[in-house]
Each structure stands twice: as structure tokens, then as C-alpha cells.
Amino acid sequence: MINRRRLVDTFMTLAKTDSVSRRERGVVDHLAGLLADIGLEYFEDEAGQAINGTAGNLIAKVPGTTAGPPLLFCTHLDTVEPGNGVKPRVDGHVIRSAGETILGADDKAGIAAVLEAVRVLKEQELPHPPLELVFTVAEEIGLLGIRELDFSLVKARMGFVLDSDGTPGKVITRAPSQDRIVATVIGRAAHAGINPEDGVNAIQAAAKAIANLPLGRIDEETTANIGVIRGGQATNIVPERVYLEGETRSLDNNKRRSLTEHICQKMTEQVELAGARIKIEVEQIYSSFVLEPDAIPVQLALQAAANVGLIALTDQTGGGSDANVLNEHGIPTVNISTGMRKVHSTEEYILIEDLVNTTRHVLEIIRLTTLNEG
């Protein structure tokens, strides 16, 4: 039923089309062409302007042939860097990049699988409920695209994001929330050799602020990190400013909140003891989600995986995805594996078999919902 060659071709062409975050115009135009060829109505929203990117999210609708609640399938269009000029290569059973770039199976494998599934549904005239296909921009830089999605266009009450690595059959049911912490430590500049006593060293103040923070793994569901530090100009100047960026994550929203608060408090205390000041901004990037084992999308994804011979299992992740925002909007959504491996590296690859299996998984999820309705 699945046209393997077409599936691989679709993936290869998507992979070759540049789409680093906020520069998705090319891939949106290409995908729009594919959707039109399949005969689907689609719509590009205003997210592009809102996030200062070149393109918005694409939303396509596949009218149902059976009644029943619409299903949402969500994938993202953007890639991390180095992501321009990808040269995907079929190497036996595997597809990888030429080595200088990522492959972009994250998340173009998901896009290719969804498109192939819809083509199969149409060609084989298989019964299916209404489907809503959402393709988002700027997922990799903080879920920016989906956060701007016009949810009044979404009727689905249940969703499947195809954006997890590992073997198809794995179903992510728990993902953390995340706070972004941006801080500027402000001391006072002075000549380091002539009048250092007039200065307040922002680098030293920042060092004290960070030195005793709880960082790394806090508990099995909570982590914290300071990931960026920048400051100072020259050895003969007492540094005036240091810029810090960090994050906290937890599967438990309350834990994340109090950890963020604790970190901000500690940093402020230490910086002030050093005679400097600190400006801190905290932004919650997304909420956590925890779906119970008996939630319908969990059950469907597991059952479908088992039915097509995949190893069906649930898992949790330390990363955020569009599923976080969909769940936040009251659409219970799992994140399923597409087979992509070593993502966000130039060694990224995917097995052709896993592209096929992801497509089979999607088709079986759809088929099961028609049985439930029947």
C-alpha cells in the first residue's frame, strides 16, 4: 500500500530544501505545492510576521469519509543549523547527510510520513475521519510557530506530533515545562590599572552568582542549566556588564516555578553582596504535559504500533515539542517516534525502514479511529 520510492523521494526533496528556523519560505512553498497536488485545501497563517520569519504555519484539512472527531497530525518545518545546502544520500538502508550539515529528518521524516499516509488514504479510498495537518515554523527555537497558531482553526480534540527520535512505536506521554532565564549583571567600569577601586567587577559578581546555583539534574524530573555567559571588553577595563542565559525544566510545573524563583533569588543575593546589580527576565517557554496511560491518544498510538508489529512503549522526554503547546490548549497530544537518530548533529540519519514504519503507524492510528466510530 505504501509507495516506498515516493516516500523516500518526498523525504529527500524536503531535506534538500533549506528551512532553518525563521527561514522556512522555501519549504513552505514546496509543501504547499505537494498539498495542492494531493488535492488538499491549505492555509498559511500569520505566524511568520509575528515571529519575524519568512513564512507562517501551514494548516491543511482532509475532509473525513466517516463521521467522528477530527484527528490532528503535527510536524515542524524548520531545522537547526548547520541546515543549509543539505545533500541527503541514500546509503544502503540508511539516509544521511553528506556530513557537513544535519540531515533534517528532524522533522522532515514526520512530514514525509504524514504526506505518504494521506496519499495512501486517497489512493486506496480508505475510510478516515477528518484530518487536520499542522506544519509549524520555528519549533526549534522555542516552539515559536505553534505558539502563534490560530487555534480557532483547529477542531481536533486529540493530536499526534511526529517529532521524537528513536525506533517507531515509542510514544512520548510526558514532557517537561521550561523557563528561560536571561540576566544581566551590572557592575561599574573603571580603568583596571589607574583607578580599579572605583570599579565593580561584573565578571566576578556573575561568577559568585553562578558558583553555588543548583544546576544539572535536580531530581528525576527536574533540571537546570546556565548555558550562556558573555561579558567584558579588555583586560585594562574593570568589566561593567555580564550577560547570562539559563533554563529550568521539570515534568512538574510547580517544581519548575519554585526552582526558577530560587535561582533568581540566589543570583540576586550574591550579585548584591558583590556590590553589583542584576536585571533578570524569566519567560515560560511552554508547560509540561503528563498523559495518563488510559488517555485515548496514548491508547490509540500504542495499539496501532502493536498492530503493525512495532515495539509499543511509552516514554518520557527531557525536551519540549509542539505537543507541549497542543496539550496546553486542551488537545491531548502524544509525540511519536519517527526513527530519526543523532538529531541536531551532522551524523543525523534515518533508516528507510523507519520512514515506512512511521507511515504504517500513522495509517493504523487512523484506521483504529474508524473502527471505534463504527
Residue among 107 and 364 whose Cβ is closer to Zn ion? 107
What's the Cα-to-Cα distance from 114 to each of 123, 147, 165, 299, 306, rounded to whole Å? 14, 22, 16, 20, 19
Q: How far apart are CA 58 and CA 165, in angstroms?
A: 23
Beta strands in 83-221 (DSSP E): 89-91, 94-96, 131-136, 159-164, 170-175, 177-186, 190-191, 216-219
CB of 348 to Zn ion, least distance (A): 11
In the complex, minimum distance from the CB of residue 106 to Zn ion, in angstroms, rounded to a whole number: 4
Interface ranges with Zn ion (CB under 5 A): 106-107, 163
SS3 assignment, position 66: coil
Cβ at position 163, least distance to Zn ion in Å: 4
In the bound complex, what is the minimum distance in angstroms from residue 107's beta carbon to Zn ion?
A: 4
The smaller minimum CB distance to Zn ion, of residues 146 and 209, is found at: 146
Name residue 35's amino acid. L
Nearer CB in complex with Zn ion: 106/247: 106
The alpha carbon torsion through 149, 151, 157, 160 (nearest 10 deg) reads 0
Maximum distance among all Cα pairs of the chain, rounded to whole angstroms: 85
Instruction: State the Cα–Cα distance between residues 11 and 94, nearest whole angstrom.
Output: 12
CA–CA gap between residue 244 and residue 266 (Å, rounded): 14
C-alpha dist (Å) from residue 298 to 161, 237, 241, 357: 12, 58, 48, 18
Query: How far is residue 323's CA from residue 75's CA, in Å, rounded to a whole number?
Result: 10
Give the nearest distance from C-beta 337 to Zn ion in angstroms.
11
The residue (of 51 and 263) whose beta carbon lies closer to Zn ion is 51
- State the minimum distance, in angstroms, from the CB of residue 220 to Zn ion: 24
Cβ proximity to Zn ion, 260 vs 317, nearer residue? 317
**Quick one: 177 or 369, whose CB is closer to Zn ion?**
177
Q: Which grid cell sits at 333?
A: 497530544
How far apart are the C-alpha atoms of 52 and 24, rounded to whole Å?
A: 11
Residues marked as catalytic? 78, 139
Quick one: CA dihedral 359, 362, 367, 370, positive or negative? Answer: negative
